[in-house]
């Protein structure tokens, strides 16, 4: 059992609040991704779970035990660092064996477990080498092996893929996901890459300015962002955020009434931010009653789809459509959001 | 190519006096007075060295010099490394001031430290002992050891320490098992510097001792009244240990592994 509970944690640094009353529960065996722009506090939170930082206020418990003041080595965690932090003076074998030896595991067992971990990470050939003799991808594997070999209750990863080149990152992303599903430990994974967050995590916590804005499954974070920031931070392209006027059961957007599910807390007549994904807007050449006229600005063929940037009244909209849609700049087209695809993201002035 | 040429020139420039001293010291005594003088070896003879080594008090002084150098190295590393680590890792109040003061300690003339120390050492019954010289040499080398070890420790990424700590060590264990092994090169240089500084230091050793003086102090004090062969042999004896020390430290100075991923 290694459920992680972060309760009302506050951390201040001179001039900034790194964590502003953060509460988060990470379930046993869950893969939790902490996502946010740099400086949002995600790494601070991770380092606090690891024990490298102490909260100014609040409690961190792992597996039901209060760990707030327990040193890192006694938390039953293992961490994979962004720089990998392999020990340059030790061979790969001794790097992986380091933690086991610190925990006074018997020599034969060290040998067996290191061999197993090396096998799992496909680095058995490199056990006699020094880290400086390995490529970036190989170092990354050693770093993961060094963490896995401890069979920790919690694995913490701080942007582990950010130092790899694009192709390798793609491979390692899938491999890490498969691996962590196999070993079944609680994982906390910090990244600023929203694609990683979407593709790897069971749940994603989106952070900004030391606060957690939303914790949901990747699909929910993508489909039902809680506010304008989350909507625009996640997805390529980011969600369209348009300004409209709230009606009784609909919203008025550039003079068109669009049905939207009623939500508490909004008064008719209020200006609101409406989110809609580029792929949730149907674009046609033919006029229809429920469609809005828009003018094409930019046409970007992206291989799998066509990305259009359009002007809808006074607002800019991005729409993804099929590549066989014949269109050129300055064309007039008609836009129709799919039913149920509009999201209320808050009052317009709140953005 | 230019850099290479400069390196050769500088090396020649530095080695020339050493070569001439070694030549004179290892040649037959008569060769020193030959005219015209030759600058290449004509014959090997240990008679100069022998007369120097067997000269009364030289061997004990050599031993004392080694002991003083050894104590200086140990003390200045033992005291300097923790201070250097603190400067490198912790952002404590007054850190910048400390670094500034450390640099400026070197600007204080030795004589200003030596006289009060002399009085103190007499009170403590340390006057004319090997320990008193070693303590002063430690004081001389310590600022450099602190600054050098700080610059060495700062190059060992903090994440290495954290990795070790996450794997079960305390901070002290992380320093011993991860930081020190990756700092050997720089610490060897600091040790080297401390030893050579101590070995070459004449003034304080002369002031603080009467009978139990170090070799350089003894040689220097007898220089003006010594015959020429004795001076050359003494000169060689003074340079040699530094060379031996550097020779053994060399593997660490050009250590194979590099700290930190490129």
Supply the DSSP string of A213-227, one letter for each residue.
EEEE-HHHHHHS-SS
pLDDT band at B79 (very low <50, low <70, confident <90, very high): very high
Chain B residue numbers touching A139 (CB-CB < 8 A): 261
pLDDT tens sequence across A269-291: 889 999 999 999 999 999 888 89
Subunit contact B163:A79, Cβ cutoff 8 A? yes
The pLDDT score that the predictor gives to residue B53 is 78
Phi, psi for residue A212 in degrees, rounded to 5? -95, 120
Instruction: Give the lowest-confidence range in A144-153, A161-170, B249-258.
Output: B249-258
pLDDT tens sequence across A64-91: 999 999 999 999 999 999 999 999 999 9
Supply the DSSP string of B76-129, one letter for each residue.
HHHHHHHHHHHHHH---TTHHHHHHHHHHHTTS-HHHHHHHHHHHHHHTT-TTS
> CB–CB of A51/A67 below 8 Å?
yes
Q: How far apart are CA A60 and CA A72, in angstroms?
A: 12
Is the pLDDT at A127 greater than 70? The verdict is yes
pLDDT tens sequence across B183-240: 988 888 888 889 888 988 888 888 888 888 888 888 877 777 778 888 888 888 888 8
pLDDT tens sequence across A233-252: 998 899 999 999 998 888 99
Q: How far apart are CA A5 and CA A68, in angstroms?
A: 11
The pLDDT score that the predictor gives to residue B251 is 65
Greatest extent of chain B over all pairs of C-alpha atoms, in Å: 73
> CB–CB of A280/A289 below 8 Å?
no
Q: How far apart are CA A208 and CA A191, in angstroms?
A: 13
Please check whether the domain covering A4-233 is classified as CATH 1.10.3470.10.
Answer: no
Subunit contact A52:B165, Cβ cutoff 8 A? yes
Q: Where are the domains of chain A?
A: 4-233, 240-350
pLDDT tens sequence across A186-206: 999 999 999 999 999 999 999
Subunit contact B167:A99, Cβ cutoff 8 A? yes
The pLDDT score that the predictor gives to residue B258 is 40
pLDDT tens sequence across A296-349: 999 999 999 999 999 999 999 999 999 999 999 999 999 999 988 999 998 887
Element (H, E) at A70: none
Residue A95 Cα, gap to closest chain B Cα (Å): 10
The pLDDT score that the predictor gives to residue B41 is 78
Domains, chain B, ranges and CATH?
1-45 (no CATH), 47-253 (1.10.3720.10)
Instruction: Give the lowest-confidence range in A6-15, A248-257, B73-82.
Output: A248-257
Which homologous superfamily is A240-350 in?
Nucleic acid-binding proteins (2.40.50.140)
In the three-class reduction of DSSP (H, G, I as helix; E, B as strand; rest coil), residue B212 is classed as coil
Subunit contact A98:B259, Cβ cutoff 8 A? no
pLDDT band at A1 (very low <50, low <70, confident <90, very high): low
Domains A4-233 and A240-350 share a fold: no
User: What DSSP designation does B175 have?
Assistant: I
Subunit contact B166:A72, Cβ cutoff 8 A? yes
Q: How far apart are CA A318 and CA A236, in angstroms?
A: 11
More confident call, A147 vs A349 = A147
Residue A293's beta-bridge partner residues?
A334
Chain B residue numbers touching A73 (CB-CB < 8 A): 165-170
Q: How far apart are CA A95 and CA A141, in angstroms?
A: 12
The pLDDT score that the predictor gives to residue A204 is 96
The pLDDT score that the predictor gives to residue A79 is 95
- pLDDT > 90 fraction of chain A, expressed in percent and rounded: 79
Q: What is the pTM of this model?
A: 0.81
Subunit contact A98:B261, Cβ cutoff 8 A? no
Residues of A with CB under 8 A from a CB of B: 50-52, 71-74, 77-79, 81-89, 98-99, 102-103, 130-132, 136, 139, 146, 150
More confident call, B248 vs A29 = A29
Place of tokens 């938390």: A75
Q: Which residues contact B185 (CB under 8 A, 6 or more apart)?
A: B152, B252, B253, B254, B255
pLDDT tens sequence across B150-190: 888 988 999 999 999 999 999 999 999 999 999 988 888 88
Chain A interface, best mutation among B166, B179, B181, B251, by max A CB count within 10 A: B166
Q: How far apart are CA A45 and CA B98, in angstroms?
A: 33
pLDDT tens sequence across B110-163: 778 778 888 888 999 888 888 988 998 998 899 989 988 988 898 899 999 999
Size (chain A), residues: 351
Nearest residue, CB atoms, B167 vs list A83, A84, A102: A102
> CB–CB of A118/A99 below 8 Å?
no
Place of tokens 């300055």: A330
């Amino acid at each position: 059992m290694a459920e992680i509970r972060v309760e009302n944690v506050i951390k201040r640094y001179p001039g900034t609040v790194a964590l502003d009353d953060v509460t988060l529960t990470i379930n046993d065996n869950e893969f939790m991704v902490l996502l946010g722009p740099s400086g949002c506090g995600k790494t601070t939170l991770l380092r606090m779970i690891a024990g490298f930082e102490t909260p100014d206020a609040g409690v961190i418990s792992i597996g039901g035990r209060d760990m707030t003041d327990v040193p890192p080595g006694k938390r039953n965690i293992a961490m994979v660092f962004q720089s990998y932090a392999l020990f340059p003076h030790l061979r790969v074998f001794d790097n992986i064996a380091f933690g086991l030896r610190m925990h006074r595991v018997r020599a034969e067992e060290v040998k067996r477990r290191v061999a197993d971990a090396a096998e799992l990470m496909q680095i058995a050939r490199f056990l006699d080498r020094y880290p400086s003799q390995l490529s970036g991808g190989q170092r990354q594997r050693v770093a993961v092996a060094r963490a896995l070999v401890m069979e920790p209750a919690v694995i913490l990863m701080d942007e582990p893929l950010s130092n790899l080149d694009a192709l390798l990152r793609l491979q390692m992303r899938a491999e890490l996901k498969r691996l962590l599903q196999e070993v079944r430990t609680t994982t906390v994974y910090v990244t600023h890459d929203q694609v990683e967050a979407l593709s790897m995590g069971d749940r994603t916590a989106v952070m900004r300015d030391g606060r957690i804005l939303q914790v949901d499954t990747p699909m929910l974070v993508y489909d039902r962002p809680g506010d304008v920031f989350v909507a625009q931070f996640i997805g390529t392209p980011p969600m369209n955020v348009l300004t409209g006027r709230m009606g009784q059961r609909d919203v008025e957007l550039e003079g068109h009434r669009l049905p939207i599910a009623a939500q508490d807390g909004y008064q008719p007549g209020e200006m609101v931010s409406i989110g809609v994904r580029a792929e949730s807007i149907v674009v046609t050449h033919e006029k229809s009653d429920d469609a809005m006229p828009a003018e094409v600005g930019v046409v970007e063929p992206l291989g799998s789809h066509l990305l259009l940037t359009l002007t809808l009244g006074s607002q800019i909209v991005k729409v993804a459509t099929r590549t066989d849609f014949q269109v050129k700049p300055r064309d007039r087209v008609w836009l129709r959001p799919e039913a149920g695809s509009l999201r209320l993201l808050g009052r317009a002035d709140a953005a | 190519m230019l850099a290479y040429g400069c390196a050769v020139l500088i090396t020649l420039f530095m080695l020339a006096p050493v070569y001439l001293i070694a030549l004179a010291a290892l040649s037959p005594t008569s060769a020193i007075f030959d005219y015209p003088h030759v600058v290449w070896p004509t014959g090997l003879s240990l008679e100069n060295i022998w007369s120097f080594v067997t000269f009364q008090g030289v061997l004990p002084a050599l031993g004392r010099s080694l002991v003083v150098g050894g104590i200086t190295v140990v003390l200045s590393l033992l005291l300097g490394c923790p201070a250097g680590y603190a400067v490198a890792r912790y952002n404590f109040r007054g850190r910048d001031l400390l670094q500034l003061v450390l640099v400026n300690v070197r600007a204080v003339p030795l004589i200003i430290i030596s006289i009060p120390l002399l009085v103190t050492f007499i009170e403590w019954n340390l006057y004319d002992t090997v320990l008193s010289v070693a303590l002063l040499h430690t004081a001389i080398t310590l600022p450099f050891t602190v600054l050098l070890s700080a610059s060495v420790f700062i190059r060992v990424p903090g994440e290495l320490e954290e990795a070790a700590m996450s794997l079960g060590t305390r901070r002290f264990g992380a320093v011993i098992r991860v930081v020190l092994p990756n700092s050997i090169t720089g610490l060897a240089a600091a040790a080297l510097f401390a030893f050579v500084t101590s070995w070459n230091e004449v003034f304080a050793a002369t002031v603080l001792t009467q009978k139990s003086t170090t070799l350089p102090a003894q040689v220097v004090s007898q220089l003006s009244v010594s015959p020429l062969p004795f001076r050359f042999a003494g000169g060689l004896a003074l340079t040699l240990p530094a060379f031996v020390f550097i020779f053994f430290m060399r593997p660490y100075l050009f250590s194979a592994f590099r700290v930190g991923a490129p």
